[in-house]
Amino acid sequence: MKTIFMVDDNDANLLLAKNALDGIYETYAMPSAARLFKLIEKITPDLILLDVNMPEMDGFETIQRLKADQKLKTIPVVFLTGKEDPESEKRGFDLGALDFIRKPFSAPLLTERIKALIGSD
């Protein structure tokens, strides 16, 4: 089963994503980039769902750190965000994101977009 890390400081978003993806993927929900970097030392995910607006380290800083690391740079990253401005989207793609999924998102949309990117086992 493929593994997905979900990083969002909003518990409701984490719960919605977890409920949508559990059973299809092994999911790990975490409230911060700091927790992501701690867990990624032990488990390498097949995809990271990453919120843009988070305290301490935002999604843009997080993806920059991931892509700068030789061991982590190939992990696909999809942003989950409420941001709708083209500048943020361009910046995310320039930093290496594969996709943007707008919040609030529907569970079927999230599931289908992820299946299109990494499949399911």
The whole-number average pLDDT for the span 2-6 is 98
Average pLDDT of the chain is 95
What pTM was computed for the model? 0.96
**pLDDT score of 82 more than 90:** no
**pLDDT score of 75 more than 90:** yes
- Give the confidence band of 71 by pLDDT, cuts at 50, 70, 90: very high
Whole-number pLDDT of residue 38: 97
The ranges assigned to domains in the chain are 3-118
Mark 50-61 as b/e (b = at least 16 C-beta within 10 Å): bbbebeebbbbe
Contact 74, 45 (CB under 8 A): no
Residue 21 DSSP code: H
- Give the confidence band of 26 by pLDDT, cuts at 50, 70, 90: very high
The whole-number average pLDDT for the span 47-67 is 96
3-118: CATH topology is Rossmann fold (3.40.50)
- Give the confidence band of 120 by pLDDT, cuts at 50, 70, 90: confident
The whole-number average pLDDT for the span 79-107 is 93
Whole-number pLDDT of residue 121: 77
